[in-house]
Structure 1
Amino acid sequence: MDKETDLLSRLAANHLHLAQFEPLRAILTSLRTKNPDLALAILQTIVSNSGRFDNTLWSQSCPNPSLLTFLSTLELLQLNNPTSHTWRFDSVTLRLRVEFLLLIQLLIDRVTESLRKNVDLDRFEKEEGEIGVGESSGGRGEGEGEGEGEEEGFLDNFEVLKDGSGELEVLDKVLEFGVKRLKGDVDLDGNEVGGSGRGEGSSSGGVVAIEEGEMMCLRKVILDNADVFDALCWNVESQMKGMKVENENLGMEITVRGEESEKVEEEGVELFDLIRKCVQLAHLDAMKECSKEGDEGVFSHIRFLHLDRGLEESEYRIVLQDLLVRVLSKRKGYGTSWHVMQEKLLRIYEEALSSNCRHLVEMIQAMLRTLLLNDFGIA
């Protein structure tokens, strides 16, 4: 390695540990002309480690490892053979796995920010200390009423933190799953990493066990971040299609390596299925609650329904039929109520079309036709 290349490498390391991506990008651009293999190796190292390096000082422009991984992947994909010597999958799969990581990190950041807004952490720690001192001194004395109020506020904050910590714990598990799936399959010498099956970075990846009950604690997070979870579901489905193709191409290899790889592969698919299923359950439950309360917000959940994401078709039928019956029951003659009913039906169709699920639209259309013919006598 010549002196200039060595200097550029040191500068790249400095910018990396300071989380200064734009200067790092400029250094890597220079390295690409002098030593493209070294630039490729640096970017692959960043991505395969999911941007996690000791003693990194995260900056405002690059506040977490997931964003660093995503930005590095964008640069990596501009190079020739971006996954060579590190992963056995292609560049499309790499992009999907990195996007998965970024989406989960976005959810973690939003939950954390929500906790900070709802709970004054400094005040919480102060109140925790004061209550502890009060209990140890015994009795409440003259400030008993005030102390009760402070303790009640402390308990409220504690409940908020408890719920938030549970949500973050589940999201952290999913994030770790994404991190393990970016680990390299082979080392610099071309040897398989880990020595078992297809390596942690293969399509199976390392799986973190998450039960359905744990995932459903994210119900509020799912509803508050519906667009992010919708993007996450599309990402997961694209990955599952890629995993299926990869398994078909490597069928002989999987058979030789035994049942262990197949088991891990199945567990990875189960986690993806669980994510999609829980998103659907959250929106259906929200629709049931909104329908009972007559909340117009019920329509906004329809765009996030998809009939091929782990639930029985009958579960969708029950909720949608109840909604249609409620809308049609508001009609009284051909006056204002008729136009209101038409507007609501059009809103249902609009949201269903936005779901990009043809089967859902066809189901609503068939159900509406049946209701109009049988129950309301409208041809």
Structure 2
Amino acid sequence: MDKETELLSRLAANHLHLAQFEPLRATLLSLRTKNPDLALAILQTIVANSGRFDNIVWSPSCPSPSLLAYLSTLELLQFNDPTSIWSFDPDTLRLQAEFVLLVQILIDKVLASLRRDVDLEQIEKEKECVSEGFEEDKPELLDRSEDLKEGSDELGDCIRVLDRFLELGMMSLRPDVVMEGVDGDGAKESKAVPEKVLIEENGMGCLRKVIMDYANAFDALCGNIQRQLKGLEVIDLGMAIMVRREEKVRLDACDEEHKTVLGSIQKSVQLAHLDAIKDCMKDDDIEGVVSRIRFLHLDYGVDEVEY
């Protein structure tokens, strides 16, 4: 490695450490002219790790690993053969990085709501004041404390479910685990074995309130999922044969478990909106009904009779 390439590599590492994406991008563009394979490898590493590295000082312009991964994906797609370490096409890579970013945005929103609405430490201090003789001034404080704790538990459950969504997206961005073998004709082949994250559909019920609070964000997430599922449908049922690095790579065309989890997210969002519309109808809230109609999609996993 020549001195200029080494200098650019160190500079890129420094910008990455400080979460300065635009300077990082400019440095990688310069590095691309000197050593395109190295620049490509750096971006692929960032994306494959979902932007998660130790000791990064997150900045206002790049405040999260998910945003770093998404921006790096957009830059990576400008290179030749950007998905050489994955078994899917560039558009699928972009959608999966976008999925991770959208889930991260939802997590950040719920966490902000949790910090804003539930300050249990302060409430405990106020409760101490009550126990010291201020019962007459704040008789409702104990009840409010219990109510907020219950709300905190509900939001905590939402965070845990959303974290599972995030884990699902992060696993999708990891390079394939490949098993070597021989096919029926005796030819050498490699089989990509995707990692799996199991999320039970009935465990998503806790999300209903946040789905209502952040309907637009969940709608964007479901739109991303729909594009991912349509991409999976393009591949033939059974097995797809692809050529990569002069070897045959056999892929499960229908990763049913992964598709089922994605479909369950869409279905849970749709059912939450349908329940909200039913409640509005019971209360003769026509405006509430109309405001929710735009979030209904007939092809998001719910039987048409439910609509």
Q: TM over 0.5, yes or no?
A: yes
Query: Which residue in 2 is equivalent to 1:49?
Result: 49
Query: Which residue in 2 is equivalent to 1:19?
Result: 19
Identity value in percent: 56
When residues 252 and 35 of structure 1 are mapped into structure 2, their CA distance, relative to the original with a 3 A threshold, is closer
Structure 1 residue 275: Cα displacement = 0.9
- The answer to whether the 8 A contact 1:15-1:23 is kept is yes
Match of 2:121 among 113, 118, 125: 125
Does the residue aligned with 1:181 lie in a helix, a strand or coil? Answer: helix
Match of 1:164 among 139, 155, 160: 155
For 1:177, the aligned partner's letter is: L
- The answer to whether the 8 A contact 2:86-2:176 is kept is yes
Structure 2 Cα separation of the partners of residues 76 and 231 of structure 1: 23
- Which has more helix, going by share of residues? 1
Query: Which residue in 2 is equivalent to 1:38?
Result: 38
| Greater mean alpha carbon deviation, residues 34-43 or residues 301-310 | 301-310
Report the TM-score, using the length of structure 2 for normalisation. Answer: 0.86
When residues 41 and 281 of structure 1 are mapped into structure 2, their CA distance, relative to the original with a 3 A threshold, is same
Structure 1 residue 199: Cα displacement = 3.5
When residues 127 and 300 of structure 1 are mapped into structure 2, their CA distance, relative to the original with a 3 A threshold, is closer
User: Where do residues 213-362 of structure 1 align in structure 2 (5 Å cutoff)?
Assistant: 213-246=202-235, 248=237, 250-251=239-240, 265-295=255-285, 296-316=287-307
Query: Which residue in 1 is equivalent to 2:187?
Result: none
- Which has more strand, going by share of residues? 2
1:88 maps to 2:87: yes
Q: Which has the higher contact order (CA 8 A, sep 6+)?
A: 2
Report the TM-score, using the length of structure 1 for normalisation. Answer: 0.70
Structure 2 Cα separation of the partners of residues 64 and 194 of structure 1: 36
| Greater mean alpha carbon deviation, residues 100-109 or residues 170-179 | 100-109
Does the residue aligned with 1:10 lie in a helix, a strand or coil? Answer: helix
Structure 1 residue 300: Cα displacement = 1.6
Structure 1 residue 216: Cα displacement = 2.0
Structure 2 Cα separation of the partners of residues 28 and 52 of structure 1: 19
Structure 1 residue 94: Cα displacement = 0.4
For 1:280, the aligned partner's letter is: Q
- The answer to whether the 8 A contact 1:185-1:193 is kept is no
Structure 1 residue 148: Cα displacement = 5.2
Does the residue aligned with 1:103 lie in a helix, a strand or coil? Answer: helix
Unaligned runs of 5+ in 1: 187-191, 201-205, 317-379
For 1:90, the aligned partner's letter is: D
Structure 2 Cα separation of the partners of residues 247 and 230 of structure 1: 28
For 1:19, the aligned partner's letter is: A
Structure 1 residue 56: Cα displacement = 1.0
Spell out, residue by residue over 1:211-264, the C-alpha distance to the aligned partner (whole angstroms, 9 max, x if none). Answer: 2232121112212222222222221122122223345484469xx999xx8699
For 2:265, the aligned partner's letter is: I
- The answer to whether the 8 A contact 2:237-2:253 is kept is no
Structure 2 Cα separation of the partners of residues 263 and 94 of structure 1: 16
**Which structure has the larger Rg?**
1
Unaligned runs of 5+ in 2: 182-189, 243-247
Matched residue count: 293
Does the residue aligned with 1:294 lie in a helix, a strand or coil? Answer: coil
Root mean square deviation of aligned Cα: 2.9
- The answer to whether the 8 A contact 2:17-2:55 is kept is yes
